[in-house]
Chain A
Amino acid sequence: MNNLLVLPMALPVLAGIILIFFRNQIKLQRGISLGVSFANIGIAIYLLNRIQEEGILRLDFGGWEPPFGILFVADSFSVILVLITSIVAAICLLYAFSSIGKSHEKMLFYSFVNFLIAGVNGSFLTGDLFNLYVNFEVMLLASYVLIALGGKKIQLRESIKYVVINVLSSWFFLIAIAYLYGSVGTLNMAHISERIAESGQTPLLTGISMVFLTVFALKSGLLLYFWLPGSYSVPPTAVAALFGALLTKVGIYAIIRVFTLFFYHDPDFTHTIIGILAGVSLIGGSIGAVAYKDIRQIVSYNVVIGVGFILIGLSVGTQAALEGSIYYLMHDMIVKALLFLLAGTMIKVAGSASMDEMSGLIRNYPLFGWLFFIVMISLAGMPPLSGFIGKVLIGQGTVETGSYVLLALAFLSSIVVLYSLLRIFLNCFWGETMISFEDEVPMKMGWLIPCVLLSAATIGLGLGTEVFAPYVSDAANTLLNPQIYIDAILYDK
């Protein structure tokens, strides 16, 4: 039954290929894409529970024992992320049904979304470094197409920058793999970890770890986020939500995996640098989030703040802080998708992206306004909602290790997040209405229902912390004790 492990990647790939042949049957396209996402949710839940009972699962392709073949590994951390990815993907697809438009749907939109999801899930599940590179490329190629699909001037302009920056980061990734292969002579993640532990983390390996950090920082927008606000504000709303929720998170996953599995022997150097980078991106993201009047820019800079916050947990590296990072990662994927959907819908109903040109929307769209309120307090970390527990645990970790600067930055950034979104809320939803009831764009149910579902998910994640606790603590435990991972891969016959 371990063959199930391949399905979160294989199902979307197959669906994407099949849908190429049915370009004009839009109903079929929608049905299959949604069905695949639901199937993945089910598989992820089943796998999570099996991991609780049996420990880490692995699937060796072609029956080649590790470290000689490629394999998929499912530990709690990766499967939690697969689960959240599938949920977010399903809801973004629901939103796309009523917003993306026929011309996109006939140009293989759903195929590319499926390929994107395949790449994301594959990156989470793989146990081989070069396979991670290939999965990144699957994801990135799909995202290049999704960002440029539609071919408006501004999209083309931004997609050139996006493609070039990602080609550059892929190049760094290849170089890092080449150096690491030259030093340790293997590509299997568990085997690399073991070899590094045997030979000790020499300065050379620490240098290589910095190349890896550069790569994943470029992908996730940790400090090197200059490309992010432009690229995330041009694609259609549903695509921007998928990007905001998934793409940077793959980079974060890779940073956490690499620095807990390979390069954990010299934390004074590596983890301090991660802490500094995270702190600086919190500051930079905060400045960006309060500086702009364009809603899309504010939302994009909030992604950067989220990245910084999650990586503070890794830089601190205690059990509590890592649990906090995982909770916050789950929360951030859901809430950023919601935030992007809400921002896109606001722009659609108000006909402008600038805060100055809309006001009083709550009179026309009351439910919509209160959904924005929920996402705002959830991102700020109010107790009943999902952002709270992650922030508390990361805070606890920073107090335990005495990193008070990071603690201060983390919580000040929460205030900035609250302020930047409150500014949108007060300017756009309060005040005099500028849209009379006759001219208002009708709020389609297809726009509202996905937002309601995501809000329900953030409330559910906040209230159901206890339900997730065993999975998250198991994930953090595996991250802190790489030997569990290595034993499951190399010594479990």
Chain B
Amino acid sequence: METLITILAGVLVTVATYFLLSKSVIRVILGTAILSHAAHLMIMTMGGLKGGVVPLLDGEEQGPYVDALPQALILTSIVIGFAVTALSLVLAYRTYQETGTDNLDELRGNKHE
């Protein structure tokens, strides 16, 4: 199971790298969103995917439970990733309004203006 998820994360990273290197700002932002998915999958996998029940103490089932720590880490990092994605989307929108382009080549601009 770990191998499968690792391969999946690898595929996501490949796609995201391709997106990050493209010219459109929106595709770059989509790339960062996909990257964060890959990171979250990796954290989950690194905590171990051995069979176990949901870590809820008042549940009917008795242990062994799955590792609860990576889940907390992922939850934190999802929220952070969400905030950063929202900010970068608004930034891209403002840049489009201001400069009239979302092509990163055109956004290079004249260095000494």
Residues of A within 8 A of B (CB): 130, 133-134, 137, 141, 144-145, 148, 151, 153-154, 156-157, 159-160, 163-164, 167-168, 170-171, 174-175, 177-179, 181-182, 187, 294, 353-354
Q: Which residue of A has the minimal Cβ distance to B29?
A: A164
For B45, what are the chain A residues with a Cβ–Cβ distance below 8 Å? 178, 182
The answer, among A141, A163, A178, for a CB contact under 8 Å with B43, is A178
Q: Which residue of A has the minimal Cβ distance to B16?
A: A171
The answer, among B38, B87, B108, B112, for a CB contact under 8 Å with A144, is B87
Query: Is B99 within 8 A of A157, CB to CB?
Result: yes
Query: Is B39 within 8 A of A174, CB to CB?
Result: yes
* CB of B47 to closest CB in A, whole Å: 7
For A160, what are the chain B residues with a Cβ–Cβ distance below 8 Å? 25, 88, 91-92, 95, 104, 107
* CB of A306 to closest CB in B, whole Å: 23
Count of interface residues, chain B, beta-carbon cutoff 8 Å: 39
The answer, among A141, A151, A156, for a CB contact under 8 Å with B84, is A141
A168 to B36, CA, bound (A): 9
Q: Which residue of A has the minimal Cβ distance to B109?
A: A157
A57 to B46, CA, bound (A): 32
Given A164-B32, A164-B88, also A175-B94 (CB < 8 A)? no
For B80, what are the chain A residues with a Cβ–Cβ distance below 8 Å? 134, 137, 170
A178 to B92, CA, bound (A): 30
For A187, what are the chain B residues with a Cβ–Cβ distance below 8 Å? 69
Task: Assess whether B73 is interfacial by the CB under 8 Å rule.
Answer: yes
Q: Which residue of B has the minimal Cβ distance to A138?
A: B80
Give B37-52 interface residues, CB cut-off 8 Å to A.
Answer: 38-40, 42-43, 45-48
Query: Is A164 within 8 A of B43, CB to CB?
Result: no
Task: Assess whether B58 is interfacial by the CB under 8 Å rule.
Answer: no
Query: Is A163 within 8 A of B76, CB to CB?
Result: no
Given A160-B91, A160-B107, A163-B84, also A181-B47 (CB < 8 A)? yes
Query: Is B73 within 8 A of A130, CB to CB?
Result: yes
* CB of A123 to closest CB in B, whole Å: 15
Q: A163-B84, A177-B73 are in contact. List 10 more A-B contacts (CB 8 A).
A: A137-B80, A141-B84, A148-B91, A156-B98, A157-B108, A163-B88, A164-B29, A164-B32, A174-B36, A175-B42
Query: Is A157 within 8 A of B95, CB to CB?
Result: yes
Q: Which residue of B has the minimal Cβ distance to A133?
A: B77
Query: Is A168 within 8 A of B20, CB to CB?
Result: yes
A182 to B112, CA, bound (A): 47
Ordered nearest first, which 8 A-B pairs have the shortest CB separation?
A182-B46, A174-B39, A178-B43, A178-B46, A156-B95, A178-B42, A167-B32, A171-B35
A182 to B80, CA, bound (A): 22
Give 11 CB contacts A-B under 8 Å.
A145-B87, A153-B99, A160-B25, A160-B91, A164-B20, A164-B28, A167-B32, A170-B80, A171-B36, A181-B70, A181-B73
